[in-house]
Amino acid sequence: MSIFIDKLFRYASRFVAMSILLLVAWIFTVLLQNSMESITALGFDFVTETKWAPNLEKFGALPAIYGSVLSTFIAMVLAVPLAIGVAIFLSELAPAKLKSPVGVSIELLAAIPSVIYGMWGLFYFVPIIRDHVGGIGISMLTAGIVLSIMILPFMAAVTRDAMNTTPDILKESAYALGGTKWDVIKDIIIPYAKAGIIGSFILALGRAIGETMAVTFVMGNVHNISLDITAPATSIPVTLANEFNEADSGLYYSSLFELSLLLLIISFTIISIAKFYFLRRKRIA
């Protein structure tokens, strides 16, 4: 009897674990199947066409792709230096009394749902952009800024963790040679933790590009490629969030599924680069 239960437990647990792989494969297959209509009808034009006009059955994903890339780029440009600053502050500068409470509150802020960052952006940040930068406030720039604030806690926390892996003895040796704090940071900590820091930035990038709610509020869903970052724009997740429930034709649906597939492939690739190239997990022997 107990041998039977033992076997059952082993096979059941293996089955559930393997079903994760099946699930991922299933997700890709379903998205691909549902995209087939648009892939066969539009082909490669889907990603190069700039016009998205569902009423004319014209589906070009370039504005959405452009919006995803540009808003994520703005977010990274703003968040990376801030995250490094916060991480340096937390790991090297802050007095012991501040380190833990500030560190914990940053980690807790990383847990706040992105929809709340989006809501804050809509009510408090959109007016600021409108009054001081220009445009109507709903824009690519606003989306980039809100996105940067949303990824900041995550980025700062992982960067700090990466910096904290530097052995104290290395830092102490450098200080003993007369190094200033900055010398130690740039010559010891950053070279030591480089892979971890870059990896966490790329991971944050992967999360930012697929983020929906933080940007849906403030981007406007306008399919237009504009160099003016104060103009409303769209991105892949914003298009999905706004239009999925409105799609009325087979091709429209299919194009939205193709967008999802595209987004999944992009973020899978980015996250894999971060994981396999920079953040090889330390195996617990």
Partner 1 sequence: MTHTQKRIIVNNIVMMLSTLSAIIGIGFLFWILGVLILNGVDALSWNIFSQEGAPPGYEESGLKHALIGQLMIVGVATFFGVPLGILAGTYLSEYGQQSKLAETIRDISDIMMSAPSIVIGAFVYAVVVAPMGHFSGWAGSIALTIIMLPIILRTTDDMLQLVPSTLREAAFALGAPKYKVIMQVVYRGAKAGILTGILLGVARVAGETAPLLFTSFNDNFLNTNMNEPMASLTVTMFNYATSPYEDWQKLGWAAAFILSMFILGLNILGRLFLLKKRGK
- Residues 38-77 contacting partner 1, CB under 8 A: none
Smallest gap from residue 134 Cβ to partner 1 (A) = 22
Helix, coil or strand: residue 249: coil
Smallest gap from residue 207 Cβ to partner 1 (A) = 5
Strand partners, 211: none
Nearer to partner 1 by C-beta: 176 or 227? 176
Own/partner long-range contacts of 104-111 (Cβ < 8 Å, ≥24 apart): 106/153, 106/156, 106/157, 107/153, 107/157, 109/153, 110/153, 110/154, 110/157
14: alpha, beta or left? (left if phi > 0; alpha if psi -120 to 50): alpha
Question: For residues 112 and 152, what is the distance between their CA atoms, to the nearest angstrom?
Answer: 12
Nearer to partner 1 by C-beta: 40 or 56? 40
Place of tokens 């940067």: 148
Rule CB under 8 A: which of 230-269 touch partner 1? 237, 240-241, 244-245, 256-257, 260, 263-264, 267-268
Rule CB under 8 A: which of 114-173 touch partner 1? 114-120, 122-124, 149, 152-153, 156
Under rule CB under 8 A, residue 216 binds partner 1:
yes
Buried b (16+ CB within 10 A) or exposed e, 175-186: eeeebeeeebbe
Under rule CB under 8 A, residue 224 binds partner 1:
no
Smallest gap from residue 184 Cβ to partner 1 (A) = 10
Tokens of 180: 């200033």
158, 174, 200, 281: which one contacts partner 1 (CB under 8 A)? Answer: 281
Under rule CB under 8 A, residue 277 binds partner 1:
no
Under rule CB under 8 A, residue 100 binds partner 1:
no
Under rule CB under 8 A, residue 187 binds partner 1:
no
